[in-house]
Structure 1
């Protein structure tokens, strides 16, 4: 479950690039599932023919007429039979059926944020909110992802944010600025620079470690 209720925190970029990383390096079936209902064209723009993962877009969900949390949960169980990795991009509305379904079925939390204070605070509130609920085990293995969207980001700023998250997460992964990710959604894995590819490999490894220690 990739979640942060604040818009512009990197949920879509992290979901898609992590999906590309798993698909490329682990060679397993991967699905990036857009639960937000807002990225209506994501399936077309972010799932090129040579992608190493599949995308279930908002358009696909509309066609399936999913209207309740129960229907999302039912679909997720069917998809889990075909995919080793499901990455759920929850969007910003914590009252939406898709968000509620994701919070009930997710094995792990990935909470992305940029350096903007509103995104940092929203991510922390999400971790504190989910911890007492049914997702408590996932919250304990949560991973914070700090997305650097400015090439001049200072290391001191990143470390201050990381320190705020560390009491609530298992790992903190920093994604360095990469020009190819500036567009916000479309992912071309081979166009990522070595530092960004390395950071996403670290993120994928953190997810795998959390899976093995649950």
Structure 2
């Protein structure tokens, strides 16, 4: 697995994205301290991985301006305002559905509020993933997300889509479907922009 991670990191670099390897999740916060400037603005995407790691609490307690969309009882208008702010933040921190060994970031999103800032806007995008997110190719990534990640996420979000009952995707047309935007980030213009942190543990789904 370490060899596979190294190959992935090498290919991320070839695709003009920076990669970092962490053996133990306890080493994550010292790295984030180095990457995120004190007093800078921070936005985030929904991520079970970030929840598990305590990243949101780390940002809240730090000397950052956090556009926190995880506050309870936010209205849809308030959430949209935060989504728009994410385009202009200094740092956007998020998980990722899958990463190919070839160094491509693969995501499926419901309303695009997570993938859109990954593509454009924030000065720095920090992507945090567990080793379980590494796959061989884009087709395998899409299959993994649709058949494993999306049904679990739909359950977490209390959707009524068929996948929550079948535990698999049937490419439904349900109004609550969350598999709407299929996005592959294959390369970046700016080497300083996207930084991918791979942890040698299984994180999220």
User: TM-score normalised to the size of structure 2?
Assistant: 0.38
User: TM-score normalised to the size of structure 1?
Assistant: 0.37
Higher share of residues assigned strand: 2
Higher RCO (CA-CA < 8 Å; seq separation 6+): 2
Higher share of residues assigned helix: 1
